[in-house]
Amino acid sequence: WRGKNNQSNHQRTKRQIGRFMVPTPLGISLVDGLSAVDEEIVLPEIRAHMESEVLRIAEGELERDEVLEKNIHWFRNKFLRFEEQ
């Protein structure tokens, strides 16, 4: 994600006072594009679930490689279904 042609997180969101991030036009376009492929990809519950798994890895409850494999499998299946359309 750190290639010179990639956009940084700062270009997709602007920090506001508190814990909220306000999406920029670039961030909104990214979400719109991903939603067109598969709406589930951009659901807050998906990100929250993945963040929960990362926390459980840090706490020693889950294994990093298992979580990584499961999530890669999930996104790969999404891509393959899109490719078949």
The C-alpha atoms of residue 37 and residue 79 are separated, in whole angstroms, by 8
pLDDT computed for residue 67 by the predictor: 97
pTM of the model: 0.64
Kindly state the tokens that stand for 20. Answer: 């909220």
pLDDT computed for residue 69 by the predictor: 97
Is 74 in a helix, a strand, or coil?
A: helix
pLDDT computed for residue 22 by the predictor: 84
Kindly state the tokens that stand for 19. Answer: 């814990």
The C-alpha atoms of residue 59 and residue 49 are separated, in whole angstroms, by 15
pLDDT computed for residue 71 by the predictor: 95
- The average confidence (pLDDT) of the chain is 84
Per-residue pLDDT for 5 more than 70? no
